[in-house]
Amino acid sequence: MDAVIEQIAAQSKLPLEQAVPLPVQAYWDPEFYEREIEQIFRSDWVCVSRVEDVPAPGDYLAVDLGGEPMIVVRGQDDVVRVLSRVCRHRYVDLLGGKTSPDKRARGCAEWFECPYHSWTYRPDGSLLNAPEMLERPDFDRHDYGLRPIRHEIWQGFVFVNIDGQAEPLDMSGFEQILDQYDFTGWKTADVVDWGESTVNWKIMVENYAECYHHIGIHKETLQPLWPIGTVELGEPTGRDWFYSRMKAGPETASGEEDGYLQQPSWLPAHPALSAYQRSQSLLMVKFPMFMIVPSPDITFWFKAIPTGPETHRLEVALMVPEQHFGVENFEESVKEAADFFRTFQAEDSSINEYVQTTTRSMNARGGVLHRHEQAIWQMQKYLAWRLAGVDSDAPVADDDVAAAQGAAVLAATS
């Protein structure tokens, strides 16, 4: 694995016009995945929910990330918290035991009771009762509340940092590109639960973030809507995020305003957006897995969680401005949007599964990247930073580029 990580670090120094794909072991090797869990998913910021997932006091949502069982819960004080689900007594999952499958995922509770010895906790995490433990000398129930998971809320999105050691969450780059978008006032209108797929999380993120495949697998769905020729790649600034502007194509545009072809929509566009913003959807990712497609009427949030070296789980939320709930034909319009998503997601899902299968081929080597696969190149820089400590923002010496070129040629021919 050290050699694979060294190869990624070397490749991350190549300029975009010479970029190559990840070494294929990164898509299936269990040891590589364990390093990602420790150095990425436990130590970086990962988005796990929206605040409206727990709208009322006592509402909770269970989350499992990197082997860590958590619960997003709204307390009686109306504060949204993220807490460990591990009982402080003998480490049992509070939602385990005989908890029904539906209650195990989400619900509303006045308290949480451990199924093993009936220790109970309030929604704010404090210990409510520990049967017979008052007989233990010096036992203080205030010392045994559920452990908090470090979290931050950005525009309604709940991010967690499991080990508590990450730098403060920085979304300033996103905010600059979003401009008039502010998702604090957007709500989830529908959720498409795609379930678990037999695909490594990076294959899914790579496919999500590049539009080059519009001319292939999506030639009858996304290519007419966002032709590859109209897609503008964002400046590769920042080591942990990427964006592009997917502009409406002439074949499907709903009209023209101020010289901009307008993107067709299912619902009215957000009134704060300019004609320029209404001409496009943004394709944004904050690595490792925060993926949103801000659009004038409906924003798609891809909530993905890795579940193993070759699997991930995906839900996609359709978010709309709060004031649009109840507009004429609202439910029908949201359903049409969800059905359209299912159509192109089925295309993506099938091709991703093919890619996952062939990454074990002895001939899966020596590939090259197109400039519209810039996101893949940027994700390599992110991986090099998290796994090898390589600073992608630092200037790259000519000798380093030459060494990276040599490593890429060696990988292609060995």
Q: Distance between CA atoms of 268 and 297, rounded to whole angstroms?
A: 6
| Residue 351 CB coordination number (10 Å) | 17
pTM of the model as a whole = 0.93
Digit-coded pLDDT (tens) for 77-97: 999 999 999 999 999 999 998
Percent of the chain with pLDDT over 90: 87
**How confident is the model at residue 402, as a pLDDT?**
57
Assign 395 a pLDDT band (cuts: 50, 70, 90).
low
Assign 400 a pLDDT band (cuts: 50, 70, 90).
low
Lowest mean pLDDT among 15-29, 59-73, 382-396: 382-396
- 1-45+167-414 adopts what CATH topology? Naphthalene 1,2-dioxygenase Alpha Subunit; Chain A, domain 1 (3.90.380)
**What does the domain layout of the chain look like in residue ranges?**
1-45+167-414, 52-152
Digit-coded pLDDT (tens) for 240-267: 999 999 999 999 999 999 999 999 999 9
The one-character DSSP state at 25 is G
**How confident is the model at residue 49, as a pLDDT?**
97
The answer, yes or no, to whether residue 414 has pLDDT greater than 90, is no
Q: Between 374-388 and 2-11, two packed helices, what is the crossing angle to 10 degrees? A: 130
Sheet with 311-321, side-by-side order of all strands: 186-197, 311-321, 299-308, 290-293, 280-286, 241-247, 231-233
Would you say the CATH fold of 52-152 matches that of 1-45+167-414?
A: no
The answer, yes or no, to whether residue 5 has pLDDT greater than 70, is yes
CATH of 52-152 among 2.102.10.10, 3.30.1300.10, 3.40.50.920, 3.40.50.1970: 2.102.10.10
**How confident is the model at residue 376, as a pLDDT?**
96
**How confident is the model at residue 135, as a pLDDT?**
85
The answer, yes or no, to whether residue 392 has pLDDT greater than 80, is no
